[in-house]
Amino acid sequence: MSEKVPFAPGESPFRTKGNVYKSLFDSADARVPGGTEAVLERIGDPQLAKFFAQSFLAASSYDVLPIVPFGMTAARLMGLTYSEFVRGGAAFTARRDMNGVYRMLLKLASPDAVVKRLPRILLQYFNFGRIEGRLVGERTYEAVARGIPQPLMVWVLNIAHGFVPEVMETAGARAVDLQVGAWESEGVEHGMTMVRSPFVVTWKEP
C-alpha cells in the first residue's frame, strides 16, 4: 500500500462481501504454490492473521483493506508483480462465474449491453465507489471510477483489467482493450485519500 492505512485489520469502514474473499482464497488455492495456507503462513502480521482466521460468509460484510497485503504476499510466492496476481485472479473468477450464474444472461446480451452493465456487476460487492460512463461512438465505452480509497486503486483497476475482457468476450466481443488514465485525488474520507481514474473500453465484433 502506498498510503498508510489508519485502521487495524477488520476495522475500516470500507467493506466488501465475503464472497470476494472466498473467490480470493479459491484463486490462491488454484494458483499459488501451497495455496491460501502458504500465503497466510507468510503474512507474518498477527493482526492480519487473526483477521484471516475468521470464517467468511458469502453475504456478510468485511473490511476490504486486508485483501491488499494478502495479494502482495501471494504475488511474491508466485514470482509475479502484484498487478499480475490481481489480474490473473480476476480472470480466474470471471471465467468461473461466467460459466455459472451469468452465462445465460451474457449469451443473450450484446457487448454494448454488457459493457453498460459492468459497473453494476463490479461494484455490487462493495459499499464504496461508483462508475459513471457511457457509450461514445461504435464499440467504445468511456467512464470514470470515483470514490476509491487510494490504497485500493491498483487492486480495483487490475480487477477491471482481468475481469472486463473475460466478460466481454463471453458476450461475443473480441480484441477487448481497457486503457486507464492517471489517478486524481478527490478529497479525504475516514482519514484516507479518495481517488478517481478515467478509463476507456474498446472492442471489435466478430
For the entire predicted model, the pTM comes to 0.90
> Which tens digits make up the pLDDT trace of 37-62?
999 999 989 999 999 999 999 999 99
SS3 110: coil
For the chain, the C-alpha Rg in angstroms (whole number) is 17
Cβ neighbours of residue 149 under 8 Å, at least 6 residues apart?
A: 14, 65, 128, 189, 192, 193, 194, 195
Q: Which residue has the cell 497466510?
A: 40
Q: What angle do CA 66, 84, 39 make, to 5 degrees?
A: 45
Mean pLDDT score of the chain, rounded to an integer? 91
pLDDT, position 46 = 93
Lowest-pLDDT range of 83-87, 111-115, 127-131: 111-115
pLDDT, position 174 = 95
pLDDT over 70 (residue 112): yes
